[in-house]
C-alpha cells in the first residue's frame, strides 16, 4: 500500500517526535554512521608540510568517491 504525500509527511513528523523523546546520549550514539574509508583509515595519522603537499597526496592516493579531489573549474 502506497502512502499519499500527506500521509508520508505525517509519518515522518511522527518519527521525528519519537526520536526527540530519546535521551541525548542515545541520539548521539545512533545519529552517526561510522564507515571504513579506504586509505584514510589505514594509518593512525599523517603529517604534511604544506596544504599543497596534502592536496597532492589526496589526488594521488584517495578514491574519487571520497570527495577529496580538487574542484574542476
Tell me the pLDDT tens digit for each residue of 15-73: 999 989 999 999 888 888 888 888 989 999 999 999 999 999 999 999 888 888 888 77
Domain that holds residue 30: 1-34
Measured between alpha carbons, how far is 57 from 35 in angstroms, rounded to an integer? Answer: 21
In this prediction the pTM is: 0.52
Question: Would you state the pLDDT for residue 51?
Answer: 95
Q: Are residues 11 and 44 in the same domain?
A: no
Same domain, 47 and 64: yes
Q: Are residues 63 and 39 in the same domain?
A: yes
Give the pLDDT band (50/70/90) at residue 1: low
Would you state the pLDDT for residue 68?
Answer: 85
Do 21 and 40 belong together in one domain?
no
**What cell does 24 get?**
541525548
| SS3 assignment for the chain | CCCCHHHHHHHHHHHHHHHHCCCHHHHHHHCCCCCCCCCHHHCCCCCCCCHHHHHHHHHHHCCHHHCCCCCCC
- Looking at the structure, do residues 8 and 39 belong to the same domain, yes or no? no
Amino acid at each position: 500500500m502506497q502512502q499519499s504525500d500527506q500521509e508520508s509527511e505525517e509519518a515522518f513528523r511522527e518519527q521525528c517526535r519519537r526520536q526527540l523523546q530519546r535521551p541525548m546520549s542515545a541520539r548521539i550514539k545512533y545519529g552517526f554512521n561510522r564507515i571504513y574509508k579506504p586509505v584514510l583509515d589505514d594509518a593512525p595519522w599523517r603529517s604534511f608540510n604544506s596544504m599543497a603537499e596534502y592536496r597532492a597526496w589526496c589526488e594521488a592516493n584517495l578514491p574519487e568517491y571520497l570527495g577529496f579531489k580538487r574542484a574542476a573549474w
